[in-house]
Amino acid sequence: MKMQVAWFHRYGEPEELVLEETNRPTPGPGEAVVRVRAVGVNHVDLDVRAGTARVPIEFPHILGREFAGEVASLGDASGRFKEGDRVWVASRLACGQCEFCWTARDNLCARGHFFGMGLPGGYAQYVKVPLVALRALPAQLGFEEAAASQIAFGTAWHVLMNRGQLQAGQTVLIQAAGSGIGSAAVQVAKFAGATVLATASTDAKLARAQALGADHLINYSQQPAFSAQVMALTDGQGVDLVMEHVGGNVFTESLASLKVDGKMVTVGAHAGEVVPLDIIPFFRRQLQLIGSRNANFAELDTVMNLVAQGRFKPVIHAALPLAQAAQAHRMMGSRDIFGKVVLLP
Ligand SMILES: [Zn+2]
């Protein structure tokens, strides 16, 4: 039994992603094979393909961290799932036996595995998945929406609610609100009852962020020194919390946008990984700089339930057939998008 897959045989440009046929996986005990209906494209996919992600892979490699579909076959009888069930798949596996797994910090498990990284991912018609990673997909939630939600909302939730401890009534600055994670973070922050300041590179993206609930809009292409505008919008106080996932000058300006005793959570650095840090205002203003990874399993379940209830709406820029995986990567790389790009195997 064959399947179609969009994989790459060597690092390089988007054109290295080629649609080919390979053998369909077969499930062993405790495993299912999922017929993938939609898979979300993430920025790290571009980095893995280009060879800059510092993630060890074997060629040919199948990307695709978050996907949804139907159970095609089971390795043995499962009490929870049967063939044809609609499912989404947790984007990673954890060992279940380390101090992090035991303390609801399974996102830090050093023995974890990620689909689309160490494990074959969702840029394929079929993926082998341990049953422990399967989640029932509610009837009202479409495959595309499910594939566009897990990482954006999960990470935004982890950053704002877990690492940032965002409270109702606080002010929060969300960087790059036009990105998948940024558009999700605007919604999570409004859900938490915060006042949201959002940045983006164009006025068109800012208008979309406003439609998602952003209260104040900042165009950081026109105003690279945007901390002055943040101060003006907050009576000279600054914001309680910043979600920063850009890096470079945006990191520096974000730190300068904080209120005394404010927190900044950093979760990405595409625009510059090494930045200057003036230590004196950092301690005098009693600031906190907090690193973050992606969501733990409980948070993934929480956000997917909220998406299913319609409280969070994934923003999908485009859904393309799997054969256009290279085009999807070019689209993501251009950054001239608002929300997520999804592939349909
Ligand atoms: Zn573990």
Q: What is the pLDDT along the chain (345 residues), one digit of tens a residue?
A: 999 999 999 999 999 999 999 999 999 999 999 999 999 999 999 999 999 888 889 999 999 999 999 999 999 987 899 999 999 999 999 999 999 999 999 999 999 899 999 999 999 999 999 999 999 999 999 999 999 999 999 999 999 999 999 999 999 999 999 888 999 999 999 999 999 999 999 999 999 999 999 999 999 999 999 999 999 999 999 999 999 999 999 999 999 999 999 999 999 888 888 999 999 999 999 999 999 999 999 999 999 999 999 999 999 999 999 999 999 999 999 878 888 999 999
111 CA to middle of ligand 1, Å? 6
295 CA to middle of ligand 1, Å? 14
Residue 192 forms part of a structural domain? yes
Residue 303 forms part of a structural domain? no
Residue 337 forms part of a structural domain? yes
Tell me: do 221 and 131 sit in the same domain: no
233 CA to middle of ligand 1, Å? 43
Among the candidates 291, 306, 333, a domain finishes at: 291
Q: In this structure, what token pair is assigned to residue 89?
A: 């798949």
CATH number at residue 247: 3.90.180.10
Of the chain, the end-to-end C-alpha distance in Å amounts to 16
104 CA to middle of ligand 1, Å? 10
Tell me: do 228 and 259 sit in the same domain: yes
- What is the tally of structural domains in the chain? 2
147 CA to middle of ligand 1, Å? 25
Query: Which tens digits make up the pLDDT trace of 65-100?
Result: 999 999 999 999 878 999 999 999 999 999 999 999
148 CA to middle of ligand 1, Å? 26
99 CA to middle of ligand 1, Å? 7
Tell me: do 96 and 21 sit in the same domain: yes
| pLDDT at 78 (0 to 100) | 77
The domain containing residue 212 runs over which residues?
Answer: 155-291
132 CA to middle of ligand 1, Å? 14
141 CA to middle of ligand 1, Å? 30
Tell me: do 15 and 86 sit in the same domain: yes
94 CA to middle of ligand 1, Å? 5
298 CA to middle of ligand 1, Å? 14
Residue 264 forms part of a structural domain? yes
| pLDDT at 177 (0 to 100) | 94
| pLDDT at 30 (0 to 100) | 95
Tell me: do 159 and 232 sit in the same domain: yes
Residue 178 forms part of a structural domain? yes
100 CA to middle of ligand 1, Å? 6
Tell me: do 178 and 54 sit in the same domain: no
What is the distance between the alpha carbons of residues 235 and 189, in angstroms, rounded to a whole number? 20
95 CA to middle of ligand 1, Å? 4
| pLDDT at 269 (0 to 100) | 86
Query: Which tens digits make up the pLDDT trace of 280-295?
Result: 999 999 999 999 999 9
| pLDDT at 77 (0 to 100) | 82
Tell me: do 111 and 218 sit in the same domain: no
112 CA to middle of ligand 1, Å? 6
Tell me: do 22 and 51 sit in the same domain: yes
Residue 97 forms part of a structural domain? yes
274 CA to middle of ligand 1, Å? 30
109 CA to middle of ligand 1, Å? 4
Residue 306 forms part of a structural domain? no
Judged on CB neighbours under 10 Å (0-12, 13-18, 19+), 319 is: middle
163 CA to middle of ligand 1, Å? 20
| pLDDT at 54 (0 to 100) | 83
Residue 10 forms part of a structural domain? yes
Tell me: do 139 and 168 sit in the same domain: no
102 CA to middle of ligand 1, Å? 8
Tell me: do 42 and 144 sit in the same domain: yes
Tell me: do 172 and 245 sit in the same domain: yes
Tell me: do 172 and 248 sit in the same domain: yes
Asked if 123 and 117 touch (Cβ cutoff 8 Å), the reply is no
